[in-house]
Amino acid sequence: MSIQWFPGHMTKAKRAIEEQLKAVDMVIECRDARIPIASSNPMIEELIQHKPRLIVLTKRDLAESKITDQWIAHYQEEGILAIALNVLKDNVISSISKGCELAMKPKHERDLKRGIRPRMTRALVVGVPNVGKSTLINRLAHRKVVEVANRPGVTMSLKRIRISDKLEVVDSPGLLWPRFEDQLYGIHLALCSSIKETGYQIDAIAQYGYDFFKEERTEKLLEYYKIESLDDLESFYRVLTTRVGQPEDRGPQLFLRDIQNHAFGPISWEKPDERTA
């Protein structure tokens, strides 16, 4: 991903989402299960307001399932329904249908008490770039795409997918910006290939990765590189580069590439107890 976000883009994206929200009953918010904070939009709560919401933690195959479960429990405590998906492999139609039905349940019950029968639910899919929105939409679209509409005002097309007689999912072309205002989240996004790192950042990102593994997941590095212990960063890079016959200053690049290629198995970079926002 190499999208550059500027205030103008952000205002435009915000308006587009606000406009789209008027036409839907609920929101399906995709977040990367490895980095649910960094991959969430900082204004999402304000944007969604009181609409029912289903958080979909995508890429669950790349995250540590125990930590993903903690995230789901954490959202539950906050009164938000969350599910985790491998968008490439799981039965997304069934999971999304059930999730949306549960998210809408309180509203439907309120409506029924007032004598209003529930009508078809329209759910808008939102999320920052690279969380898997298009993949999700495409997998849902194995059913038929009922409409591609151009709405006046904002130039955008809305793709609506009829999932069942109870649910229609609306694709949102308005891209939301990630939580890059804090350097830590920028690093997390780069570790998950969700923003493009630039040359001068590679050392810092790789060093963050090294410190993370050294503190919490040492055995994963030892196992993968078949080394005895982690001493210091320099000797770690020396081992990495020597084995492939590359100059030592290529260490950070090689290590970051392995991280981004999921060489060490599922990794969750963010845990709910570290959550501040």
Ligand X SMILES: Nc1nc2c(ncn2[C@@H]2O[C@H](COP(=O)(O)OP(=O)(O)O)[C@@H](O)[C@H]2O)c(=O)[nH]1
Interacting residues toward Mg ion by CB under 5 A: 134
Options 36, 52, 99, 127; binder of ligand X; rule CB under 6 A: 127
| Sites for ligand X among residues 191-250 (CB under 6 A) | none
Q: If contact means CB under 5 to 8 A according to the sort of partner, which of Mg ion, ligand X, none does residue 52 touch?
A: none
CB of 25 to ligand X, least distance (A): 22
Options 12, 18, 43, 86; binder of ligand X; rule CB under 6 A: 86
CB of 112 to Mg ion, least distance (A): 36
Q: If contact means CB under 5 to 8 A according to the sort of partner, which of Mg ion, ligand X, none does residue 193 touch?
A: none
Asked if 132 touches ligand X (CB under 6 A), the answer is yes
Cβ neighbour number for residue 112 with a 10 Å cutoff: 11
Q: If contact means CB under 5 to 8 A according to the sort of partner, which of ligand X, Mg ion, none does residue 86 touch?
A: ligand X
Taking the least distance from each CB to ligand X, the nearer of 24 and 240 is: 24
Asked if 40 touches ligand X (CB under 6 A), the answer is no
Asked if 82 touches ligand X (CB under 6 A), the answer is no
CB of 174 to ligand X, least distance (A): 12
Options 43, 62, 145, 222; binder of ligand X; rule CB under 6 A: 62
CB of 59 to ligand X, least distance (A): 4
Give the residues lining the site for ligand X (CB under 6 A).
Answer: 58-59, 61-62, 85-88, 127, 129-135
